Structure 1
């Protein structure tokens, strides 16, 4: 008779996310994962596979949680510029989370070395750009966003600014600088 799992998969995946997010993939050892996740090494292998498979599951869960945060923003049915501002400002508020973004960190650390990571990160970025394009088009229809802007091109610009912000929060504590970047980026849409 098989033993039942003595842990909840998403809870231990969230712990793996925290450790990978804080330290990166390469600097995180299996022993650190065992200790931090609070489960046996064998349980990690049986449930997730090797370290890379665990990392990919953690990245997938992180990406799904980030997508859910963005979906919740849209449900607020606020003006488009306010929604984009909130999306950017979520990057500035990391209550209880490591600084930056696990997807950005992973793309920088492993993107050229690991096609599976590169693919997941690129897919996530593409979904976000599509979301931004849709928001911009809606804002153009309501007159909130300049009609002469090409929505798809502007989504690339906003994505680049957002990724830059997600990187910069790791190296600066100057909140005014970060807010100025958000303000200047969004001013382009007027």
Structure 2
């Protein structure tokens, strides 16, 4: 008779996600995963598979959570520009989450090396870009944003800014520099 699992799967996957987010795939060892997740190596293999399979599950969980944040917000309560500003912003890390974005970090580290990771990251990026396009079109219909701007091209521009801010924050977080970059980016919406 098999022993029941003595751990909560989502809880230990969260721990692995944070470790991969902080260190990246290559730098994270199986022993660090064992220590961080608080379960035996055999339990990791039996539950999640090898290190790569565990990493992919952590990345999928992160992207799922990101997508949940992109659900259509209560637009009547805030201006579209404010929602875009909040989406672009990246806060300095607290004690629980690393700075930057796990999806962006993965794209930079594994984008050309691991087709599955690259595909997941591209899908995540596509969802974010679609969210920006939705906000732009909604803002144009509501008269908040210039209706002559091309929503698709502008969503590409906002996505580029979103990626750049997360990369900048990971390497050299400066809250004033982030705020300035966001302000300049948002000024394009007034054109």
- TM range, smaller chain: over 0.9
- 152-161 or 73-82, larger mean C-alpha shift: 73-82
Is 1:17 the counterpart of 2:17 in the alignment? yes
Is 1:80 the counterpart of 2:113 in the alignment? no
Conservation of the 8 A alpha-carbon contact between 1:24 and 1:109? yes
What is the correspondence of 1:1-190 to structure 2 with a 5 Å cutoff?
A: 1-71=1-71, 74-75=73-74, 77=76, 78-89=78-89, 91-95=90-94, 96-190=96-190
Conservation of the 8 A alpha-carbon contact between 2:100 and 2:167? yes
Give, in whole Å, the separation in 2 of the partners of 1:163 and 1:49.
30
1:6-49 deviations in Å (ceiling 9; x for gaps):
11111111100111011110010111100010001011001110
1:41-62 deviations in Å (ceiling 9; x for gaps):
0110011100000000000001
Q: CA deviation at 1:3?
A: 1.4
Q: CA deviation at 1:66?
A: 1.5
Conservation of the 8 A alpha-carbon contact between 2:16 and 2:36? yes
- 62-71 or 133-142, larger mean C-alpha shift: 62-71
TM-score (norm 1): 0.95
Runs of 5+ consecutive residues of structure 2 not aligned to the other structure = none
How many residues are treated as equivalent by the alignment? 188
